[in-house]
């Protein structure tokens, strides 16, 4: 499980969410954090702010940033 400090808006996360419609692994782009908590949110299953638990995250791909 990745550490919270390493996940930022714009990063891509690979996660496996146990939902009614799917329990497969997917990649999604982080678009925020759930109610100012440590749970990143993504667009998934028709939701624009699907909260992903940290224990569901399998991998983090950092966004390319121009400094």
Q: How confident is the model at residue 3 (pLDDT cuts 50, 70, 90)?
A: low
Q: Which range of residues forms the domain containing residue 46? A: 4-61
**Global confidence as pTM:** 0.82
User: Between 5 and 59, whose confidence is greater?
Assistant: 59
10-48 pLDDT, tens digit per residue, is 999 999 987 777 778 999 999 999 998 889 999 998 899
Task: Determine, yes or no, domain membership for 45.
Answer: yes
CB atoms under 10 Å from CB of 36, counted, come to 7
Q: How far is CA 58 from the centre of its chain?
A: 10
Which two tokens mark 46? 């028709």
Q: Is the dihedral of CA 51, 55, 59, 64 positive or negative?
A: positive
* Structural domain count, the chain: 1
Cβ neighbours for 51, distance < 8 A, ≥ 6 positions apart: 34, 39, 40, 41
Task: Determine, yes or no, domain membership for 40.
Answer: yes
């Amino acid at each position: 499980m990745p550490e919270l400090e390493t996940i930022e808006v714009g990063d891509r996360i690979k996660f496996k969410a146990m939902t009614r419609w799917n329990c497969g692994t997917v990649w999604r782009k982080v678009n925020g954090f759930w109610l100012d908590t440590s749970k990143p949110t993504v667009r998934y299953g028709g939701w624009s702010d699907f909260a992903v638990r940290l224990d569901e995250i399998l991998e983090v791909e950092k966004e390319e940033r121009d400094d």
